[in-house]
Copies of this chain bind each other. A is one copy, B any other.
Amino acid sequence: MALWLKEGPDSDVVISTRARLARNMKGVAFPAIIKGTPKAKEVMRPAIETFVENADFRFIGMKEIEPIERARLTEDHIISKDLAMREDGAVIVSPDESLSIMLMEEDAYRLQCMLPGLQTDKALSLVSELDKMLGKNVEYAYDDELGFLTGCITNVGTGLRMSAMLHLPALTMTHAINRLIQQVGQLGLTVRGIYGEGSEASGNIYQISNQLTLGLSEAEIIQNVRAVVENLVEQERRLRRELMTEKHLDMCDAICRALAILKSARKMDTKEALRLLSSVNIGISEKVISGMTSAEIYNTILAVLPANLSRKGMTAEQRDERRAQLLRKMTAKAVIVEE
């Protein structure tokens, strides 16, 4: 189990917090501009030296791994979809995969820390350490007026993107989420589905992140994201409680059925699995279900996504069968709390 899927603060609603810093090398063309140049080696050398040779991080070159393994790393949020498609790209990861450095993505370096639950400060402090370590071996592209220079204009400045992944089944169910997404947008933050830009919010999972880094300090960015996330957490919690009170029978029925199906089905597609796991997570936070934590639900969600399930040559049907097998196993401990 990835470290960031262990129980964290507010994990009834917040799956994980991620801090990411974009950095480039002074005097070397940014990967966003020139792909596949010999510069890749120049960019990678200091990172490998810092984290692989002088620490216990692991180097994974994109061209060295199978497409299915790239997809697995994407689903685990270790690498981006863009990096998965770059033959000259690579990622360096800490043993528990909570820390990682993408190399030759849109920027030369993307330093990342991912933690379970809501932990903005800790995520920033950990990723800043990586930044300091790497900064000893690399002269960053930096402008006194603009700050750190990046491949995309939206990252110029601190280069910090702070994001949190939230599980909002109640807000989604009642369609209250649509209004909230608009409001969050007006505060300069973006709301995306589970796999970043353009992806649907499958499984009622949403990613909240700052849109701009220029003109804001790291502290201000963190403060903004944190305030919005805390507000969403409060609203989701209130709504779950409200639904459990006002639609008690319907909610209990949906939760009991969801768990029963997860524990029994012989085949299941991703969409249904995410929908049922959403209901079970409400069941856990509302104490209708015991024996399983929210973090274990998030871990289960991750485990049953297509790339994590797939083995070479597997058909879609075999995948659905394996998904059901895994779900039976992973939900076996969960039980309905009898009233």
A residues whose Cβ falls under 8 Å from a Cβ of B? 249-250, 252-253, 256-257, 259-261, 263-267, 317, 321, 324, 336
Can you report 23 residue pairs joining A to B where beta carbons are below 8 Å apart? Answer: A249-B266, A249-B267, A249-B317, A249-B321, A250-B267, A252-B266, A253-B265, A253-B266, A253-B267, A253-B324, A256-B264, A256-B266, A257-B261, A257-B265, A257-B266, A259-B264, A260-B260, A260-B261, A260-B263, A260-B264, A260-B265, A261-B261, A264-B336
A181 to chain B, nearest CB (A): 32
Which residues from chain B contact A250 at a C-beta distance below 8 Å?
267
Which residues from chain B contact A256 at a C-beta distance below 8 Å?
264-266
Q: Give the distance in Å from the alpha carbon of A317 to the alpha carbon of B336 in the complex.
A: 22
15 other A-B residue contacts (CB within 8 Å) besides A256-B265, A264-B336: A249-B317, A250-B267, A253-B265, A253-B266, A253-B267, A253-B324, A256-B266, A257-B265, A259-B264, A260-B260, A260-B261, A260-B263, A260-B264, A260-B265, A261-B261
Q: Give the distance in Å from the alpha carbon of A252 to the alpha carbon of B266 in the complex.
A: 7
Q: Give the distance in Å from the alpha carbon of A266 to the alpha carbon of B258 in the complex.
A: 11
The 4 closest A-B pairs by CB, nearest first: A260-B264, A253-B266, A260-B260, A256-B264
Which residues from chain B contact A252 at a C-beta distance below 8 Å?
266
A261 to chain B, nearest CB (A): 6
Which residues from chain B contact A321 at a C-beta distance below 8 Å?
249
Q: Are B249 and A257 interface neighbours, CB within 8 A?
A: no
Q: Give the distance in Å from the alpha carbon of A267 to the alpha carbon of B256 in the complex.
A: 10
Which residues from chain B contact A267 at a C-beta distance below 8 Å?
249-250, 253
A168 to chain B, nearest CB (A): 24
Q: Give the distance in Å from the alpha carbon of A321 to the alpha carbon of B256 in the complex.
A: 13
Which residues from chain B contact A257 at a C-beta distance below 8 Å?
261, 264-266
Which residue of chain B has its CB nearest to the CB of A253?
B266
Which residues from chain B contact A253 at a C-beta distance below 8 Å?
265-267, 324
A218 to chain B, nearest CB (A): 48
A312 to chain B, nearest CB (A): 21
Which residue of chain B has its CB nearest to the CB of A262?
B260
